[in-house]
Amino acid sequence: MSEYPTLQRFTKYLEVERNASKKTIEAYKRDITQFLIFCVKEWQTTPEKLDFHRIDRLIIRLWLGSLMQQKLAKSTLARKTASVRSFLKFCFKRGLTYHNPAQLLMVPKKDQLLPQTVLVEQIDEMMNSIETDTASGARDLAFLELLYSAGIRLSELVSLDLADLDLQQNRVKVFGKGSRERIIPFGIKAAEALKHYMTKRNDLISNKTGKSDVKALFLTDSGRRIYPRFIQRKVKNYLSGVSEISRKSPHVFRHSFATHLLEDGVAIQVIQRLLGHSRLDTTNIYTHVSSDMLTDVKSPLDTPSPQSVRSVAGKAIPKKRGRPKGSTAAKKKAATAKGGRR
């Protein structure tokens, strides 16, 4: 039971009405609890006697000042400020406070770090280096191809079940942030790797494989469902052989997926939907492009991607007016000729 019933009400609101993920709710809870503890200490009271009506702009500034003294990253400060602002807005709307002291509170601007990517040639070199004679090698190639070809998150990858994969339509169903479902197409190379892996998947099943593991798409060498640290180690190892980027994480494939599609002329709105972003400016950060470029990109239905064998994003979200005549044949011809990975 939380020491702050009001915070409990807020987290319930996030879960039920906002459909926030567990990670998001936990982050809000940590940030707001930290703020409320600061208020309790500053006013020399107890959590039970904390008067929310006393919360004003001054106490918020004092709290932010204490955070700045800790030399936290701007992104952390921005998140904590946004958490408290949302919480106090909730309190005001529900009549738990007389006013909203955070109404005009400005969220500190984050440092916008450019996402790190790898070149298409490096992707090719890495994928071609993986031996797939064993079940573990076939699995590694399959999940790496899927990470790049579909641009999915690490959390989405490890949560995949066998039922989420459609090898007839070459698409996968994932549940992203806020439990939002989306269906993403993937390219021929990923389909080939996944089909090969499926012929060897049973070799990974062992006496350690539990009932919940049986339905998992990807299994570890011991027969359990893959987990984030397992994938992170694998990715770091494989990327180290082809790239010198500092952050060798699974998210590099997501960044590369978005960047390469944009370079191929795929519309930014299509990339946004493939990535599962609710806001377009988030996609702009991932693809590190300026606003001036966004008006010049072509429709993915008009120009086939040079790496279309690895990705069928151009066919993922057709426009309402329908596919232009001859585009499907043109795409297939281009894909076969290029022999790329996406």
Domains of the chain: 5-93 (1.10.150.130), 120-338 (1.10.443.10)
Q: What is the pTM of this model?
A: 0.63
Round to whole Å and give the CA distance between 203 and 199.
Answer: 9
Which residues touch 71 (CB under 8 Å, ≥6 apart)? none
> Residue 71 carries which side chain, given as an amino acid letter?
K
Strand intervals (E) in the chain: 165-166, 171-175, 181-185
Give catalytic residue positions.
153, 177, 251, 254, 277, 286
Q: Scan for tokens 């798409």, then name that residue.
A: 217
Query: What tens-digit pLDDT sequence spans the chain (342 residues)?
Result: 457 889 999 999 999 998 888 889 999 999 999 999 999 999 999 998 999 989 998 999 899 889 988 988 888 888 999 999 999 999 999 988 888 988 877 766 666 666 788 889 999 999 999 999 999 999 999 999 999 999 999 999 999 999 999 999 999 999 888 778 999 999 999 999 999 999 999 999 999 999 999 999 999 999 999 999 999 999 999 999 999 888 899 999 999 998 888 888 888 889 899 998 888 877 877 555 433 333 343 333 333 333 444 655 444 433 332 323 333 333 333 333 334 455
Q: Scan for tokens 């998992």, then name that residue.
A: 216
> Residue 7 carries which side chain, given as an amino acid letter?
L
> What is the number of other CB atoms lying within 10 angstroms of the CB of residue 158?
19
Q: Scan for tokens 């929310």, then name that residue.
A: 52
153 is written with which tokens? Answer: 């998150």
